[in-house]
Each structure stands twice: as C-alpha cells, then as structure tokens.
Structure 1
C-alpha cells in the first residue's frame, strides 16, 4: 500500500471512529427518531450533523493546508501542527470534561451543536497530520514570477485536498454514526445504551496525542 493510500485510509478510519463516538451526535439521531416515532426522523439528522462536522473539519484544516502550500514553510507548519494536536490531546487527558456552554445549545440547532462539539473535542485537529501528509510540495520554479505562480497553485491545490479530506472524513463519520443510531433505534433499544454506554473520552484524547506525535515524526 502506498503512503498516500495509507493516509486516505487513516482519514476514513478516523471518520468511522468519530462517528461511533456518542459525543459526535448519534444519540441525538436516536432521540429524534423516538420523539417523532418514525424511521425517517433518525436520518433527518444527517444534514445538520454532517454539515456541522464538515464545517468544523474545514475550519481546522484549511488555514494549515493553505500555508503548507508555501514550500519553504511546510516542514515548520507540520511540526507546529503536530505539536498543537499532541498538546491538545494531553490537555484533554488531564481535563476530560465537556464544555458547559455546549449544554446550552438546544438539539433543534443540530448543525450549530455539531460544529461546536467537533471543534471543542479537537476532531479537526486530529486530522491535521494526515491532511498535511497528503499536501505534496511542488517543484521549485525557475524565477521569481514562476515561483510565485507555482506557490499560489500549490496553496490552491492544498486547500482542495483539505476540503476533500474533510468531506471523505465526514461521510465516514455519518456512515458509522447513523448506522449505530439506526441499530439502537430499530433493534437494540434504549436499554442497550444504559448497559453499554460508550465513553471514549480517554481513548479520544490518547488518539489526539498519537496523531500529534505521528505528525511530528513524519515532518522530522
């Protein structure tokens, strides 16, 4: 398997992992189905949850991807991004509590809630090392004007790559999240949640630390 394929596989795997985490919203899909007593209500949460998550991923990835287009700074940017992800993961291990402000956002504002929940948990940051790994440096141009043109094109290409990473990741997140929401709503029932509630906070924080360390190692 090529390094590019491995990076895309990691993006998809992280999407599935985020989707299975209750903090990303699948219990709200179950609650919506139960409240309206119809199957379609579970999947009606797809656009708001997905839209909010996609926005959070894009906000985290785009600035780094654009800057990484300027090849002279790509390595320091990757090192800084890896360090940021690692430190945020360590912080989440020490202080795992959810921000209280998120509890004040009503479930009717699912897209807004999804955006802030993903941002507060560092979901976009977790993708940074893999997204930057997919942003390939361009060959240097032969002159100031040519060089500027190449750098501009590279920055635009990296932004497109970052958006693709965010979209693929969000699609995988929705697949996993809505699949488990449907299973709980249709077959497993609320007793399943009471018996087997998934608390992935510690695993999530440890994943951030590992992702940050991976980013530092790959850039070194």
Structure 2
C-alpha cells in the first residue's frame, strides 16, 4: 500500500523538521564534533552519527507511535486538542526548566552511551511531538480513520515512512554540519556566531502546539 500523495506538503514538513532537528546542536552534531576533536579523528565524527541518529529515531518514533495510536481510539478533534496542549505545555517546561535538565555524557563515552544521550535529548526536547501535527491530516483522511481495526495498518505504514524520511533528513543535516565544523570552521567560531537554539526550539514547540489546536 502506498501512502497518500495528495498531501505532499506533509512529507515536506516531515523532512523539514528533520533538517531543523539536525541543525540544532543539542540534537547531536556538536557532540559528534567534540568527540572527533577529542580523539583527533574524522572517522569518529562519522561513526558518531550512527548512534546519534538511532537514539533520535527511537525517541521520535516512540512519541509518534503513541500519538498516532491514540488517534485510532479517540476522535481526532480531541486528539488535536490533547497534542496541542501537550506541545504548548512542553514549550513552557522547556523555557523554564529544559536548560537545567541536560544529560551529562563525557568524551570517553562509547556509542551505546551516545545513543542513550541522543535519545534523552530528543525526548526532552519533544522532537517526536512536532511530527504529530504534520501527520494528523494525512492520517485523518485514511479509510476507516475512526476505527482502530481499519486504520491501524495504514497508520503504522505512514508512521514508519515518516520516521524514515525524518531520520534521513536529520542524519544528512547532522553529518554535513559536523564535517563542516570539524574540517573547516572549528568550534571556536561558535563563540561569535552562536544562535540561541533553546529560544528557537521553545518557539517552534509553541508554534506547533498552536497549529495543532487550530486544526
């Protein structure tokens, strides 16, 4: 079964969110660069991308599956309200407490520790929650969207494809930035060209919540 193609913008939004998550240094590229510099190895930078992507995909996929599965048993209008409220609440929490809850991982960590760190960061930033507003319209248009038995299979397929598209965009972006910083710019440039991603991320979460409530 092929996913609906009439809402092509949905897949563009999913990929764009992956790119946005990849740009955020908290999602992994800054740690990959730091680990590569510590071990004086470009290969370490590249290998670090694998556990970073896996941890991010697991966190985003868990939230995505939970949200879309809930949509199989309750009315989508109620799900929109629930997800919108969660996104706004998460934005408020992130603004007040998120910067104080960073997991600590040292430069001696292995790839398992890096995957766990990536999972924790993606989960604490609500990465998976952002995907639900983008996918809700396409899931609502599925045949049998109001019943779990009729829509479970198509919903699972859409969730899997969305996660792959999102993760691929995130991995590509993270890899490009990591190599660019490691090979050319260096982390010293961040002292003068730093963007407040915490503030940007909080605003994005709130914007996604407002969009969800408006659906």
* Same fold by TM-score greater than 0.5: yes
CA displacement at 1:139 relative to structure 2: 4.1
Counterpart Cα distance in 2 of 1:139 and 1:20: 36
CA displacement at 1:104 relative to structure 2: 5.2
Counterpart Cα distance in 2 of 1:162 and 1:153: 15
Shift in CA distance, 38/104, structure 1 to aligned 2, threshold 3 Å: closer
CA displacement at 1:20 relative to structure 2: 0.8
* TM-score computed with the length of structure 2 as normaliser: 0.87
Post-superposition Cα deviations, 1:120-160, rounded to whole Å, max 9, x if no partner, equal 1111112221122231344459xxxxx9xx63130222122
Contact 2:72–2:152, Cα closer than 8 Å, also in 1: yes
Aligned equivalent of 2:191 = 194
CA displacement at 1:64 relative to structure 2: 1.6
RMSD: 2.3
Shift in CA distance, 97/68, structure 1 to aligned 2, threshold 3 Å: same
Counterpart Cα distance in 2 of 1:64 and 1:53: 17
Contact 1:21–1:198, Cα closer than 8 Å, also in 2: no
Range moving further from structure 2, 24-33 or 132-141:
132-141
Aligned equivalent of 1:171 = 168
- Written as runs of structure 1 = structure 2, the 5 A alignment for 1:129-144 is 129-139=133-143
CA displacement at 1:197 relative to structure 2: 2.9
- Written as runs of structure 1 = structure 2, the 5 A alignment for 1:41-60 is 41-60=44-63
> Based on CA coordinates, which of the two structures has the bigger radius of gyration?
1
Shift in CA distance, 137/68, structure 1 to aligned 2, threshold 3 Å: farther
The size of the alignment, in residue pairs, is: 208
Shift in CA distance, 131/37, structure 1 to aligned 2, threshold 3 Å: same
CA displacement at 1:26 relative to structure 2: 0.4
Contact 2:144–2:151, Cα closer than 8 Å, also in 1: no
CA displacement at 1:164 relative to structure 2: 1.9
Please point out which of 79, 82, 91 is paired with 1:80.
Answer: 82
Secondary structure at the counterpart of residue 97 of structure 1:
helix
CA displacement at 1:95 relative to structure 2: 3.3
CA displacement at 1:35 relative to structure 2: 2.6
Counterpart Cα distance in 2 of 1:152 and 1:94: 41
